[in-house]
Structure 1
Amino acid sequence: MNTLVVNLTRFGDLLQTQPVVCGLAARGERVGLVCLENFVQATALLSDLSHASGIPGARFLADLDRSWPHALAGCLDYADKVRREFAPDRVINLTPSLPARLLARALSGGAVQGFGLDDFGFGAYSTPWAAFLEATSRHRGSSPFNLVDLFRKAAHLDDDRPSFRLKDPEPAALEALRALLAELGAPPGASPVGLQLGASAAMRQWPVESFASLARHLLDRHGLFPVLLGSGGEQALAEAFAASGVPHASLVGRTGLAELAAAVRLMRLVVSNDTGTMHLAAGLGVPVLAVFLATAQPWDTGPYLPGACCVEPDMECHPCPFGHQCPIGWACREKVRPEVLAACVDGWMERGVWPELPGRGVRLWESVVQPDGFMGLRSLSGHGSGERAVWIGVQRLAWRRFLDGLPPAFEGHEADALTEEFRAGLRTTLEQASALLELLAQQARVLLAAPRPALRAKFMTTWQRLHALFSADQRLCALAHLWLHLSQDEGQDIARFAAFADSVSQLVRALRDLLASRP
């Protein structure tokens, strides 16, 4: 079978498609990939990939400015070309945007797995996991799962041992990078440490001064020679680092994606913001120390590498929502101090493990594979019993079973560490939701017996009240999105809708009971 995967996202997300490609290939399928044209070179880093095609988005936009029929013809010609070259038997779309859904439908000629469209042009989901992936991409703090695991589940993969291992660079490429580093002043035989100064936005960048302070410490104490990584657009950051006077070699703007992979593979350690370079290091098995600032958090976009270390500021406002205008000047960037990262590396270099560091103003996590096969985080700073981590743990248990179509199965102690204030506020919402769901079930039974317009109007009013109730509580935003989209999917059949509403009711009641007040 030929399976075509569509992923029209950025570099790091594209690399995180690797476990999907490997999982499909392990079934004996021939796997192709459609990505943005400017990232098509990155597909050479993916293992088990038989075909890759880059969509010329810039050309389509230029055509659209001239003539929309011409632009549409270009899109259809592109879809025809991909079908001729790869002949997909199945299309899996991992990008929830409308253009990606339209492209996937054009490529498949019919049903699409992951994110699709129905016959009327409305969004459709082949699995609740796809709807959940879309929900958590919109609401920060609502995702308890790593993006890699969400990709796998959206692609209908249930393998317990996913493989996130990119292709190793060719020996010739590694030798060429060694020669380049020597030319740039790296001492012979030095152990290099890669520093990725940039990020997708300035607010997500750890200050250059902090990188320089850390680099000085690593060079003086451990002999780790700093190597700057990044694209040509980050040259100003490299120049600011150079002004610190710390000896280093800069590869910023000197590497394509293949050369960047070779450079990363040579590193003893990569210190990075939440970037594609971080995911590249994880996929190559290179140790990672990553900093997550502003909207970035390690629970969903952290490195998919057991033993990676993730640092985020211990601030009530972190992570902030997308589009947030920070009233305190992105203070999180200064909250993560270089001496904390220095202490992390000291412990790792001297004892081979990341150290426990409580009380340093940060939340420190180590990536670990959980018993269910999903990637999780283990606290190294005493935050594992904190309210945020406990609630994420509750969500992991709740969503994993709900999205797999299984009833809730709490043991009863999972929320014990939550404060009564937290529990009471959420419990009130859940109690109201439970009552509305019971009312909705009664109305559905009446509608089945007598589908009159007046009864349907009452039914829709209750449905809307439930969506508004879920939407009003930030802790239930993901449930609001699922309720909106999945209940609409089932809405053509009242019996199917009633079954879906019953599964939501079971989840709501289980969470309500779990959060019951304790004597």
Structure 2
Amino acid sequence: MRIVLQNLTRFGDLLQSQPTLAELAGAGHEVAVACLENFAGAAALLPEASLILPLPGARMLAGLEGNWPEALAAVDGFVDRVVRDFAPEAVVNLTPALAARLLARRLCGEDVLGFSLDPFGFRHESSPWATFLEASSANRGLSPFNVVDLFRKAAGVGNGPGRFALRRPEAAALQAAGERLAAGAPPDAAFFVGFQLGASAAARQWPVAAFGQVGEMLWERYRAVPVLLGGPGETGLAASYRQACPAPAVDLIGATDLPGLAAVLCRLRLLVTNDTGTLHLAAGLDVPSVSIFLATAQPFDTGPYREGCLCLEPDMACHPCAFGVACPIGNACLSAIGPETVSRVVSEFCDTGRFAAGAYPGARAWLSAFDTSGFMDMVSLSGHDAEARAVWLRVLRRVLRQFLDEKPFGEPDSGLPALPPLPGDTRQALATLLGQSAELLRLLEGQAGLAARNQAMKARFLATWERIRGLWTGSPYLGVLGRLWMHEAQQASPDLPALLGRIRRYAACVAALAACLDRS
């Protein structure tokens, strides 16, 4: 089958769709990749792509502000070219935005996996996994799954171990990168460590001065030279780094195209980075990393899809913070993880090639590793796996796998290690929340049957539905389930049996969560 894999988001997200692409191609499908025009170079790193279909998204948006008929004609022109050059039989759309849904339907009608629209224009997802992928984006702190695995499941694959492998640079590119690094470093340089100084927002950017202290340690102890990486808009960070650190560094910020960046990464012993697209490029090229997750970023969902990478996040009760909420403590997480901690773990890796369990002052330290089902997981190196957030994420991970696969609930922790006990206050709050949820779902199920025959009961049914939505979306524990509940309700209304089935499915999920709570 000829399939268009459509990912119209950022550079890092596009790269992270490679495991999905590989599984589709491995099943015998011919897969083309539709992406934004400015990320076509990134799509060239996807080895299984039989064709790259660049969409001039920026020009289309600009056209809508000026001459919308011409912009719509450009969309039609893109669709016509795809049909002419590839003749797709299906689309896998991994972008939930309305424009992407419309484009997917325009390309292949109802033969869309992931995000689409039904014949009446209502939002439609092909599976609960796709619905969860969008719903979890607003509750990242409660999402226990790496986005790569969510992409895989939303596309209808992901039933075995995942593997992230981008196209490696050619020998000539690797040689050129090596020569470039050598030319910018002192003659006695021993090896190179990458520093990605920038991030998508200042609140997610570890201080440049802290990077500088790590760079000074590398030079003094190992004669290792940092390589400064980043885009053209981040050249000011290089100047700040030079002021903070007198030790040698190779400044490549704004000086590499994507193939050049890939070649440079392959020449590094280690990458030290914020949560960025460069992190995911390194993971796909099998380059080890130390990544720092600040503000809204957290490693469980956007960490590197490669085993053996170290992820650090502030050891603060408020981390990760919510989206769209101003920090009341002046972004204190920026200084929570000190350069001494990062210098130590970088030095440890340079000496041994691994990261060990132990004390990580100021940080919660997680090591990326695959679980028994082939999903990416995070293993605590700093003893934080017994904290309430970590335990609850583990509970959600076990129960939601069955819920989203739409399988009957068995023993969600059968054959898995026992969960640490939750703190007493957290356990009590969860027991109360899950008890209220079960009662409201039982009430809603009864009202649904009556509402089908009694107009007056519809108002009570809707009021109960709203109480459940409010209970979950306002909860620090079930917010992601509330979003999923909301998203599913926005789809075209099902018939009564389907509606009752949905309510019972949520009731079974709540019961499974309660059972896990009883065993923790």
Distance (Å, rounded) in 1 between the aligned partners of 2:390 and 2:96: 27
**Contact (CA 8 Å) 1:200, 1:275: kept in 2 or not?**
yes
CA distance in structure 2 between the partners assigned to 1:292 and 1:121 by the alignment:
38
Residue 515 of structure 1: CA displacement? 3.1
Structure 1 residue 70: Cα displacement: 2.1
Q: Does the C-alpha gap of structure 1 residues 454 and 59 become closer, same or farther in structure 2, counting only changes over 3 Å?
A: same
Partner of 2:210: 210
Match of 1:483 among 460, 481, 485: 485
Provide the rounded CA distance (Å) in 1 between the counterparts of 2:413 and 2:87: 48
Q: How many residues align?
A: 516
Deviation for aligned residue 1:115: 0.8
Rounded Cα–Cα distance in structure 1 between residues aligned with 2:353 and 2:173:
29
Q: What do residues 122-178 of structure 1 show as CA deviations (whole Å, max 9, x unaligned)?
A: 211101001111111111311101010000000010341222000110111111112
The CA distance in 2 between the partners of 1:74 and 1:511, in whole Å, is 49
| DSSP 3-state at the match of 2:305 | coil
Counterpart in the other structure of 2:239: 239
**How far apart, CA to CA, are the structure 2 residues paired with 1:175 and 1:75?**
41
Percent identical across equivalent pairs? Answer: 46
Larger CA deviation: 482-491 vs 243-252: 482-491
CA contact (8 A) 1:487 1:501 kept: no
Say which is worse superposed, 61-70 or 197-206, in terms of deviation.
Answer: 61-70
> Are residue 85 (structure 1) and residue 85 (structure 2) matched?
yes
Shift of 1:414: 5.3
Deviation at 1:361, TM superposition (A): 1.4
2: CA distance between counterparts of 1:334 and 1:175? 38
Distance 2:399 2:375 in 1: 14
Residues 253 and 24 of structure 1: CA distance in aligned 2, closer, same or farther (over 3 Å): same
Residue deviations 1:20-79 (CA, integer Å, cap 9, x gap): 110011011111111111111111111111111121112112211222222222212212
Question: Deviations along 1:482-517, whole A, 9 cap, x unmatched?
Answer: 212324547321101111211111111222344359
Match of 1:421 among 425, 444, 458: 425
Structure 2 counterpart of 1:362: 363
Q: Structure 1: any 5+ residue segments left out of the alignment?
A: none
Partner of residue 376, structure 1? 377
> Is it true that 1:321 corresponds to 2:322 in the alignment?
yes
Q: CA deviation at 1:357?
A: 2.8
Instruction: Tell me which residue corresponds to 1:270.
Output: 271
With over 3 angstroms needed to count, the CA separation of the structure-2 counterparts of 1:312 and 1:416, relative to structure 1, is closer
Task: State the shift of 1:416 in Å.
Answer: 4.9
What is the distance in 2 between the residues matched to 1:371 and 1:411? 12
Secondary structure (helix, strand or coil) at the match of 1:141 reads helix
1:504 and 1:134 mapped to 2: Cα distance? 18
Residue type of the partner of 2:320? Answer: P
Query: Residue 460 of structure 2: which of 458, 461, 464 is its match?
Result: 458
Q: Which residue of the partner structure matches residue 439 of structure 1? A: 443
In structure 2, relative to structure 1, the CA distance for the partners of 1:312 and 1:373 (3 Å cut) is same
Tell me which amino acid in the other structure corresponds to 1:426: L
Q: What letter is aligned with 2:470?
A: A
Tell me, yes or no, if the aligned pair for 2:36 and 2:56 is still in contact at 8 Å: yes
> Residue in 1 aligned with 2:393?
392
Q: Which whole-Å CA distance do the structure 2 matches of 1:129 and 1:275 have between them? A: 24
Deviation at 1:429, TM superposition (A): 2.0
**467-476 or 32-41, which deviates more:** 467-476
Provide the residue aligned with 2:105 in structure 1.
105
- Alignment match, 2:169: 169
Q: Deviations over 1:107-131 (max 9, x none)?
A: 1133421011122222111010011
Give distance in 1, aligned partners of 2:280 and 2:203: 19
> Which amino acid in structure 1 is aligned with residue 495 of structure 2?
D
Separation of aligned partners in 1, 2:283 and 2:366 = 15
Asked if the contact 2:92/2:114 (under 8 Å) is kept, the reply is yes
CA distance in 1, matches of 2:510, 2:162: 31
Contact 2:61 2:71 in 1 (8 A): yes
> Matched residues in 1 for 2:231 and 2:446: separation?
59
The CA deviation string for residues 426-475 of structure 1, in whole angstroms up to 9 with x for no partner, is 22222111111112222333456xx3322333322322222222122132
Alpha-carbon distance between aligned partners in 1 of 2:23 and 2:419, rounded to the nearest angstrom:
34
Deviation by residue 1:298-352 (Cα, 9 ceiling, x = unmatched): 0000000100011111011111111221122211111111111111122222233
SS in 1 for 2:291: strand
Query: Aligned to 1:295, what secondary structure does the other structure show?
Result: coil
Q: Is the 8 A contact 2:216 2:246 kept in 1?
A: no
2:474 maps to 472
Distance 1:185 1:510 in 2: 57
TM-score for both structures, normalised by structure 1: 0.95
Question: What amino acid maps onto 2:129 in structure 1?
Answer: W
CA distance in 2, matches of 1:459, 1:488: 16
Given that 1:192 and 1:227 are in contact with CA atoms closer than 8 Å, whether structure 2 keeps it comes out as yes
Measure the CA separation in 2 of the matches of 1:424 and 1:371: 30
Q: CA deviation at 1:355?
A: 2.1
Change in 2 beyond 3 A, CA 1:178/1:353 = closer
Distance 1:163 1:425, change over 3 A: same
SS in 2 for 1:270: strand
Q: Secondary structure at the match of 1:455?
A: helix
Q: Which amino acid aligns with 1:493?
A: D
Q: Could you tell me which amino acid in structure 2 is paired with residue 422 of structure 1?
A: T
Q: What is the DSSP-based 3-state SS (H/G/I as helix, E as strand, rest coil) of the residue aligned with 2:44?
A: helix
User: 2-side partners of 1:359 and 1:26: how far apart?
Assistant: 41
Task: Work out whether residues 136 and 478 of structure 1, in 8 Å CA contact, stay in contact via their aligned partners in 2.
Answer: yes
Aligned to 1:190: 190
Whole-Å separation in 1 of the counterparts to 2:183 and 2:61: 42
Secondary structure at the aligned position of 2:14 is classed as: helix
In 1, distance between residues paired with 2:378 and 2:222?
27
Taking only aligned residues, the RMSD between alpha carbons, in angstroms, comes to 1.8
Counterpart CA distance in 1 for 2:36 and 2:284 is: 20
Contact 1:168/1:284 (8 A) holds in 2: yes
